[in-house]
Copies of this chain bind each other. A is one copy, B any other.
């Protein structure tokens, strides 16, 4: 490691020479260091220090988890529903965010517990208020794709300070509109975090 750090890129033969070992003796060690991500190897160039620690194992793993494998079912309300209907659905389904869809089932908005609480402490009756007035509306909605990494989805939740992301695909009829495939929430991320922590116990 020291040799590679100071002199890399350096070939396996040169390292063996420096250590007074044969190439063959050294080979398994170099494989392990390469597999563990401490060293990187390029053909005809040699070994170089990858600057990686155990952390990179974690990071790489997180980047491989896919939204599609973690998404939960999306809970929806029609855009014609009232804010009261939406609140009832929120409690019945025990979620923090609802996706609002049009008659074709395409995503038109997102309404959260926070939006509904804000409406409820205002003085209007929720029964007479259409959910479409208080929802966040397309295209101002942050979405994610099924093939996206869970890391990327988590970063959107944090960066945009939201609790839930709709998982979408472009509508075949109109690529500016989205079909709903699922949801990724902070709960999804916390569950994935717990699963990662449990893996060694298997």
State the CA gap A200–B50 with chains docked (Å): 10
Q: Which listed residue, B29, B36, B84, B202, touches A29 by the CB 8 Å rule?
A: B29
The DSSP consensus for interface residues of chain A is: helix
Are A58's CB and B126's CB within 8 A?
Answer: no
Least Cβ distance of A114 to chain B in Å? 6
Are A193's CB and B62's CB within 8 A?
Answer: yes
Does residue A168 face the partner (Cβ distance < 8 Å to B)? Answer: no
> Across the two chains, which residue of chain B brings its CB closest to A122?
B120
Are A200's CB and B32's CB within 8 A?
Answer: no
Residues of B within 8 A of A5 (CB): none
Residues of B within 8 A of A32 (CB): 29, 32-33, 36
Interface residues of A in 113-163 (CB under 8 A from B): 113-114, 116-118, 120-121, 126, 149, 151, 154-155, 157-158, 161, 163
Q: Which listed residue, B33, B157, B200, touches A55 by the CB 8 Å rule?
A: B200
Interface size class, chain A:
35 or more
Which of A52, A55, A84 counts the most B-chain CB atoms under 10 A from its CB? A55
Least Cβ distance of A60 to chain B in Å? 7
14 more contacts with CB within 8 A, not counting A59-B201, A63-B197, are: A25-B25, A32-B36, A54-B61, A57-B57, A58-B196, A59-B197, A59-B200, A84-B121, A94-B161, A96-B113, A113-B114, A121-B126, A151-B194, A193-B193
Query: Which 8 pairs of residues, A with B, have the shortest CB-CB distance?
Result: A120-B120, A59-B200, A186-B186, A151-B197, A55-B199, A56-B200, A62-B197, A189-B190
Residues of A within 8 A of B (CB): 21, 25, 28-29, 32-33, 36, 52, 54-63, 84, 87, 90-91, 94, 96, 113-114, 116-118, 120-121, 126, 149, 151, 154-155, 157-158, 161, 163, 186-187, 189-194, 196-202
